[in-house]
Structure 1
Amino acid sequence: MAFGGSYRINQSVLRDATRTLFWQIVGNSAAFASALTLAACVRLFGLNISVSVGAVACLIGFVVRAQFFGERNGSRPSPATSEPASRTSESDRFRSAFDFAAIGMALVSTEGRWLQVNRSLCHILGYTEKELLLTDFLSITHPDDLPTALSNIGQLLKAKVQVSQMEKRYIHKSGHEVWVHWSVSMVRDQYSKSVHLIFQIQDITDRKLAEQQLHHDAFHDALTGLPNRALFMDHLKLAIARSRRNTNSTFAVLYLDLDRFKIINDSLGHTIGDQLLVGIADRLKKNLRPGDTVARLGGDEFTILIEDIVEELEAIQVAERIQKELSVPFALSGREVFTTVSMGIAPSSTGYERAEDILRDADTAMYRAKTLGKARYEIFDKAMHARAINLLQMETDMRRALEREEFILHYQPIVSLENFRLRGFEALVRWQHPERGFISPMDFIPVAEETGMIIQLGEWVLREACSQMQRWQKIFPLDQPLSVAVNLSSKQFSQTTLINRVAMILQETGVNPHTVKLEITESVVMENIDTATDMLRQLRALGVKLAIDDFGTGYSSLSYLHRFPIDTLKIDRSFVTRMSENNENTEIVRTIVVLAQNLGMDVIAEGVETNEQLVLLQKLGCENGQGYFFSKPVNSDGAEKIIAETYGSLTSPLRQLNTQPGGKRVLVA
């Protein structure tokens, strides 16, 4: 039979019940043991008990089989002789049930002293029975839970409730916390009318620890143990709320992104990469003030919330301290690993209503730091936000531009400095916006790089240049075909599908692969030498030529250069522009020319703009050049005219070339 409400079980009812129903317990659960033990307390101490039986569980009837069958067999003793023996026997059975109950049980005074405790309770709390009886439950209750526990007992003693339950913590004898489900009922002695408490205590520590672990995992990064984005955003929202209530409560958000982490991860493996992230997390925690929050958003991105600052200088000092700390190499699996970090700082003085906005602005400042050379920090300002909005609009326009064919290719001639014959062209992308007019590549190429659109744009450039070259090859069937050079961005070069995409474009366009030259910047090649070498060899296997662009501006090692299957070195325009007789830049150019010749490579000087530069390059033995001195970049029609002027064609008229001082003929558009 099940009891859902509160019942008062008096002594006479209990006596009759226990004489007819007691000993067979259906099931072996904590609920049965609890019900049995409550009855035991009543029987042992002669108490009337008020309990919410439904809170204990379903109280299942219990049967005293021995007595029942004894009565059936006619062996029931006379009342005069059986009553004392029955009480003694029942007391023993109740004591046994109390002592061996599956959950902790105790009789407690209203002052909190333990009066009777069972074995399960001693096991749960780690004390012996004697030790518990010398103390009270207040002294081993967790301090944070004590006020609520006392309040609940107060409600019980005032008869406002018949049973009190809560989840609380005790302090185990060894010092650790023990979570329990705590149920308290009030009992009254039928003779002295004194009041006592019955505790039912079930150990739920394992469940609580599992819940705490789930909660921790939901708000923390599994690798580093740092707060994750969700927890960081909660802290940030609280900081914004405090700042609104108190204008003197200012804070700042730092957004961190590791420089070259992908290179480390790809070259040394994900295990080293993970170790590096853990090491960085440890250093960040050690270099923050108490109360500040550092979180890992994912990948190699971290954020820091610096609270209670007086001025922006404090946030800058933290950023500089972090820069210095992270510049120290990490010892990982027997090797030294170096990294730097780019940071964006967004101070709360700008005035924010939403956590998402300040995090966005810190991110924007971080990308600005990346653009300006990495390993630095930038502070967000209003102009930066306006620029971010402009970039967002440009990104949207760029996606439409590809669909609407607003991009076009211009071609800048590459000329032999020995005989001024046309050797080929470099394909350069241009954007003619229908509303904003001509947009400089200096403006839209960085946006394409940042948004990843450079992959689509770069593929379009390669396909268009190959198609154009294939048309020229049909119009101008030359013994020494011209070539077209196309730049590959760092994002394109890092794509695992690059080889297949290039092969597909070569096949689709039908261009002679030997007339296509792919240019890769020096820094991209040197980021991951082994991967770059493998990628370059696969590209060469397709039949295309390869060039290192902007040579001399990166950090290439001459010991590695001979390993790359490179056909051409392009001297960066910064060296050519500053050349003069016997100066440092001239010597750099001389060194590059000699190096290329020794390695069997061609050389192209970029940015040739004056006759003086041309003469110096010729003296240094530079073979080829390109620049405004020969021709500015021209559209496909202009390029076709230059080809016709150089080699002649039935479909393109010849034009007279300009003659420069010294009798040299130079191509013009």
Structure 2
Amino acid sequence: MSGTSEEPAPRAGASPGTGPPEVTQRDRPGSVLSELRDYRAAFAAAALPMAVVDHLGRIVSPNDALGGLLGTDPATLTGQCAADLVGLAPESSARRAYTEVLRGARPRMRSTRRLKHADGRPLWAEVTVVPMGGGETGPDRVLLSVADVSDRRELRERLRHLRMHDPVTRLPNRTLFFERLTAALGSPPLQDGAPPFDPADGGRIGLCYLDIDGFKAVNDTLGHHTGDRLLAAVAGRLTDCAEADDHRTGAHLVARLGGDEFAILVDDSSGTHQLTELARSVLTALQQPFDVAGHRLSVSASIGVVERSVAGTSATDLMQAADTTLFWAKDDGRARWTLFDAERNANRMTRQALSSTLRPAVERGEFTLEYQPLVGMADEVVRGVEALVRWNHPRYGLLAPSRFVPIAEEDGTIVELGRWVLRTACRQARRWQLEHPDEPALFISVNVAVRQLRDSDLVADVAEVLAETGLEPGLLQLELTESAVMGSSGRPLRVLEALSAMGVRIAIDDFGTGYSNLAYLSRLPVSVLKLDGSFVRGFRYEDGAHPSPADETIVEAMVQLAHRLGLTVTAECVETSGQAERLRRIGCDTGQGWLYSRAVAPERITELIGSRSPGG
């Protein structure tokens, strides 16, 4: 039976005109008997299927139209239970409303029911029940009318189908997809004999969310007509893959969500394996060329795969996870599927949280600087320090630069943050100089991002800070990555030349990991090379490790050539005395690493001024 709707109406009167009354044996004027006979004739001949029902719910008098509607002799309907005849199931709301009309507690009942003709075909009927008269205990009779609304229902279903399906691919559209998804997460259908569904019992749901790589190029070059035909062909292959899934217990829903986005909903998943196998089959199917409108087209798909328990999952949660995973698949290179990873998503969410609070954090002063000593290799005396920024985040604690500097570079906050680091570091270096006038002044090394070099007036910023703090330009070293310096031309090169002309030293950080073009260095205003730690780690003798002869040879050659170009060399990541001794013999000028000190607060650097390093 279908859904039920009851419609109250003003209470019907008890006049004879309400329905065909029973003719009694009581003597009445001839004109009244004649009128009653006319009513009975009209009732029998009416085109609307009707029946008179007694207070017990039994059919007393059906008309011919009712027999015709049900495909049976009207006489066989007399005495039948009217509620069963029109499909009012026990305990249903429609049955309760009908019973209330029989008792006189309700003026009308109306419900749309799905009936069956005698020949087996289904039909939809609008059933209406109203009282015909009554006494103290309720109506003597009620009038049952049954209107055939099959054509109206069919039209409504056709309109719903059009509204719920994509005209290009004939697949369910976004509206129907979310209707099915919501139903699957809320109240999955019961199997025969199964107990009521409980999400805690372990029901699972899966989703393959994909879009077509290269589809835009097809639309742009061959036109939307060809693009539409390609989408229809893709829909066919997706449907074939869904139907061929050996693990399915029911029909998967394949839908077009819009543009070149599709989804395959698995609302009774057997686990991650089922979803990943389905994704693999989709990739394989779509990688086969399509013959469309005289063109042989090759496309692929990026697929986000999500599989999880129904318990605690909402449609919004599932779609957000699918959208994120699809983005990963595309970002990882396209033409692949990617499974949702909770840890990766947590890192992404943390990154988003950091991004949204980064700029306000600069304004609130949540950043601090620590300083790592740069030590002379020959005498192990601290010559300078590198300023390293930390974020004292109110939620995540003290964060290292690797956690937030890449984000700051992406959104441009690095320019504002970089100015703060430069000013704070120079002030601290000048303070050390003033507090220890009899000791050689420490130089301060500050990292500069590529975006600072290109998007800000770095020369003006440096000049302003040096004038404000009184720090000599020769005591400021700016570190840039090798990839940022190599190939510099135009404005970036002019910036470096202007800074060098001011007396500021330029250092290349992590040297040896990028271009390693030493010849190009002769044309750049560079003063210092900082060897990447990956070379230094090859010098270890401790813990049974053997040094790498190749690393030693490369480092020695770079040091010698750098010195011939008038550059000094700093070795990063020096951790052992064995590494330090070998680097000293090779000719490295300064060293930096845990052997000497980790990055520490400025107070600790104050204790080291004029003395040998802690590792010495």
TM-score by length of 1: 0.46
Q: Which has the higher contact order (CA 8 A, sep 6+)?
A: 2
TM-score by length of 2: 0.50
